[in-house]
Amino acid sequence: MNIKLVVVGKLKEKYFKAGIAEYAKRLSRFCKFRIIEVPDEKAPESLSQSQMDNVMEKEGSRILSKISDREYVYALAILGNERTSEDFAKELDKLTTYGNSDITFVIGGSLGLSSDVLKRADTQISFGKFTLPHQLMRLVLTEQVYRAFMINEGSPYHK
């Protein structure tokens, strides 16, 4: 099984890198896990709607260039469906049971995801209505993917 995160922007903080590296190491016994970073589009602080759309389109094109047709894609979106950890674990288990061995998660830039990326996604997932830094979201997502494998294994980690 291959699990990939396609994310906009570079991870700078050492403490986030360390946490993600730890979960990536733990995930290595279950899957091939990797993170692909695409550059964020430089933009001024205040943008018109059309300028925001333009930024999201450019970032979206970069994201889509890293996704093949055979991948099952989760777009992280505040308006996506929330899941419990147990439901998420069942969903991943069902996907792999029915032949989806390439699963990709997409985290957009500070403005969100383009409509093209959202259309390409097989599903949208939300981790709640809070706004979180994208770097922190990478860590949270990586931990939840690891937690899903541990739940499916029947491990006490989840308790």
Local confidence pLDDT in tens for the 159 residues of the chain: 999 999 999 999 999 999 999 999 999 999 999 999 999 998 888 899 999 999 999 999 999 999 999 999 999 999 999 999 999 999 999 999 999 999 999 999 999 999 999 999 999 999 999 888 889 999 999 999 999 999 999 999 877
- H helix or E strand, kind and range, residue 74: strand 72-82
What pLDDT does 6 receive?
Answer: 98
Cα–Cα distance measured from residue 148 to residue 145, given in angstroms and rounded to the nearest whole number: 5
Q: List the alpha helices (DSSP H) in the chain.
A: 14-27, 49-64, 85-97, 115-120, 134-153
Cα–Cα distance measured from residue 78 to residue 73, given in angstroms and rounded to the nearest whole number: 16
Answer for the pair 40, 8: CB distance below 8 angstroms, yes or no.
Answer: yes
Give the residue carrying structure tokens 């930024």.
55
76 in a known ligand binding site: yes
Backbone angles phi, psi at 27, to 5 degrees: -70, -20
What pLDDT does 131 receive?
Answer: 84
| Buried b or exposed e, range 127-142, using 16+ CB within 10 angstroms | beeeeeebbebbbbbb
Domains of the chain plus CATH, in order, are 2-41+49-152 (3.40.1280.10)
What pLDDT does 5 receive?
Answer: 98
Going by C-alpha positions, the residue among 23, 47, 45, 41 that lies closest to residue 141 is: 23
60 in a known ligand binding site: no
What pLDDT does 132 receive?
Answer: 87
What pLDDT does 120 receive?
Answer: 98
| Sign of the torsion angle spanned by Cα atoms 30, 121, 15, 154 | negative
AA identity, residue 156? P
